Amino acid sequence: MKVSPLTLFLVVLSNELIDVLSSSLKPQRFKGRVQRDRRNIRPNIILIITDDQDVELGSLQVMNKTRRLMEQGGAHFTNAFVTTPMCCPSRSSMLTGKYVHNHNTYTNNENCSSPSWQAMHEPRTFAVYLNNTGYRTAFFGKYLNEYNGSYIPPGWREWVGLIKNSRFYNYTLSRNGFKEKHGFDYSKDYFTDVITNDSINYFRISKKIYPHRPVLMVISHAAPHGPEDSAPQFSELFPNASQHITPSYNYAPNMDKHWIMQFTGAMRPIHMEFTNILQRKRLQTLMSVDDSVDRIFQMLAETGELDNTYVIYTADHGYHIGQFGLVKGKSMPYDFDLRVPFFVRGPNVEPGSIIPQLVLNIDLAPTILDIAGLDIPADMDGKSILKLLEPEKPGNRFRSNKRARIWRDTFLIERGKLLRKKEDGTGDAQQTNYLPKYERVKEVCQQAKYQTACEQPGQKWQCVEDSAGRLRLHKCKGTTKVHAGSKKSKSLRGQAYASNHCDCSSNSYRMRQSERRNQRQFLNIHTTHKFKHRFLRTRPIRSVSVELEGEIYDIDLEIADPEPLIPQNITMGSYQEDAATGEAVESVMIGEDGSKAGESVLDSVKVTHKCYILANETVHCEKELYQSARAWKDHKSYIDKEIEALQDKIKNLREVRGHLKRKKPEECDCNRKREVAQEVDNKLQLFKENRRKKKDRKIKKRMRKGDSCSLPGLTCFTHNNEHWQTPPYWNLGSFCACTSSNNNTYWCLRTINETHNILFCEFATGFLEYFDMNSDPYQLTNTIHMVDREVLNQLHIQLMELRSCQGHKQCTPRTKGAETGNKDGGSFDQHRGQLWDGWEG
């Protein structure tokens, strides 16, 4: 068969075309599928938190791996702060994106992981939002100081949370609801390594099983928090650590600052030696964190997820070691306690970039939601920082009025809760640099409840302008009509709770003598019958009032045979009623031999179903507990569980009691002013007496323990040779030092922009502080008396507004002209003469 050359040419050409088309189409189809799948994968998010890590004292200088990966490979925020320099409040703000006054966790004890926190705020953390939208969420490490491990917080698919406060050895974890105890073996118990290993394993398994599901991980380290136990391989590093010796180191006393700073004097040599060793041990613990960060990045690179993962590194607050004579601690409104490290690395983040804008711990939650592509709730006080990470676009050379990037330059610092009023005039008499009285009265009179002329129900004060034009507070008098009434009695037949309604009826009204005389004259003129001029009841009395133990009861006399009153049992024995005689018969405890026990047994207290406490304060249990090791162990486990359950119940009861105190309804006022005043006075006297007794008990307890360190109103600690269980050890003996005080409650404004760097604080004692960090970067001198009074008033108004702000629109103040690009957004700029223009939005 002959094939023509043309046919042969066409066949060869067709084969070549098929090969070319097949070789070009297959890679394109595969490449398109990979890109399409990759676009559907949202970025992973890893948040790394350290505990008590400072910036001002040089802790980052030794973390070379972290700085190489995060600072050189990502963005460094040089002005990162926390809004409350305490562990639990700051961590609560991180989780919720809210200021302390909006989530109500004021201290490490007040509302920290409480039932109200669990009910109101924990269901609204960033983990809940991401978990509901498909993220695989996991938490490893320290959660909140008072977390007891009895539950798994909502929003976390994998939960490995530390119970209570930071520890490196001898701690307990809550692993997905099951408690896991750890000992003192470094190879399997060192806390930093445990949570690092768990987080790496979880990420690998998640990506293996669910390759297209994004992961959110929080790795919360205990370092460099106490007890500062380092890994053995780092225990000899940094023998000459001195980064903590700043210009404010041992700068004491400070008579121009608030009370605790005036009280604190210069450190003794033993205190200074302690600060040197403490700094060294803190840096040693951070070396394990440095290795942890490096291992996490290696894992991301091995799994191919490094380019699709945002890594955020920060701390819950700063720290001080010897600054202003304070041996150690946090909770002060100064930069060494407020500034924290803050790095972000991830997609579209320019490596090595430095961002000077203010970022806060309340920005973490909205930023994480923004990274995940979710809407930010309006009640979050913080803002997403993603727009700060966007690279600057090249400007148009023909456009001269380029709009500047708008961002905050002022934020609120708040710490502690309001103090009770002093019982006497002593205490904080030296705190005298508050605002003038007329300015404070003027501020109070702006409230609506003081602007009416004693017309509102329950109004006690009104604002009145005097002849000089100044506002005065006058007490409301004689504005309410009060009817006379007798003390309401209780019925012995039963007790019912009425609604919150004041029953001030006139049933017991008694006419005055003039009214009775007028009525008598009216009856004589207008009636023909002769009446006995008696206005008292003449019918037989039907009931009588009896006072019993301070309460008044009504006894109905028309009942033929009133029931006898049976007293309530207030002794340890139980009362039973004899069916034959109707008399109360006391039941008697039967001993093991079947005979009646003596008076000591009658007075015994039954603690468990097998153990009693006798009258002579000795404990007696059943024989099997002393004979069987198994029975002893089972009963001890039962007691441990009972103690834990009762502790949780007591905590819940205290929460309910506080709620009831806050929601107490108003009592009726029916001509009982004297009785109420006497009752209030009695309660006040009882309260003072109980406080005095409690104080005496604490003093006696300290004396029994030989503790001479604790002082009233101060937060102190004792350090001895047994405190540190890992090298380098302390062998210079015990000493005492005080770190804070009960009146260290404050609200501050912090402003940083291209012209100003200031701190203005108002303390609960009325004391004021003002620092200009442009001229005084270490806040050595309080210059409040050099600031114009009008400027202070403006700062005070701005501070009061921030203290009550809700949501980022209110909590992000801006000035007039910010939209025109005059500066990077911000607040009232006092020295430029601008006026406060309210809130953003």
Active-site residue set: 87
Task: Give the DSSP letter of residue 327.
Answer: -
Structural tokens at position 675: 């009785």
Q: Residue 632: enclosing H or E segment and its boundaries? A: helix 629-662
Cα separation, 216 vs 134, whole angstroms: 10
Cα separation, 405 vs 424, whole angstroms: 53
Buried/exposed 658-689: b ≥16 CB within 10 Å, e otherwise:
eeeeeeeeeeeebebeeeeeeeeeeeeeeeee
Task: Give the DSSP letter of residue 168.
Answer: S
At 239, the amino acid letter reads: P
3-state secondary structure of 275: helix
* Strand partners for 547: 552
Q: Residue 138: enclosing H or E segment and its boundaries? A: strand 136-142
3-state secondary structure of 110: coil
% helix / strand / coil in the chain, to the nearest 5?
A: 35, 20, 50
Q: Who contacts 834 (Cβ-Cβ below 8 Å, separation ≥6)?
A: 815, 816, 817, 828
Q: With left for phi above 0 and alpha for psi between -120 and 50, is residue 421 left, alpha or beta? A: beta
Matching residue, tokens 């698919």: 157
Cα separation, 96 vs 102, whole angstroms: 10
Task: Give the DSSP letter of residue 676.
Answer: H
> From the CB of residue 595, how many other CB atoms can be counted at a distance below 10 Å?
8
Cα separation, 401 vs 598, whole angstroms: 97
Cβ–Cβ < 8 Å for 572, 602: yes
* Strand partners for 744: none
Cα separation, 307 vs 99, whole angstroms: 33
* Strand partners for 463: 473
Cα separation, 509 vs 521, whole angstroms: 20
At 548, the amino acid letter reads: L
Rg, C-alpha atoms of the chain: 36
Cβ–Cβ < 8 Å for 58, 243: yes
Structural tokens at position 345: 């690395």
Task: Give the DSSP letter of residue 422.
Answer: P
* Strand partners for 179: 174
Instruction: Of 374, 385, 382, 376, give the one whose Cα is nearest residue 132.
Output: 374
First to last CA, the chain: 88
Q: Who contacts 627 (Cβ-Cβ below 8 Å, separation ≥6)?
A: none
Q: At what angle do helices 269-303 and 191-209 cross, to 10 degrees?
A: 20
Give just the sign of the alpha carbon dihedral 92, 93, 96, 101: positive
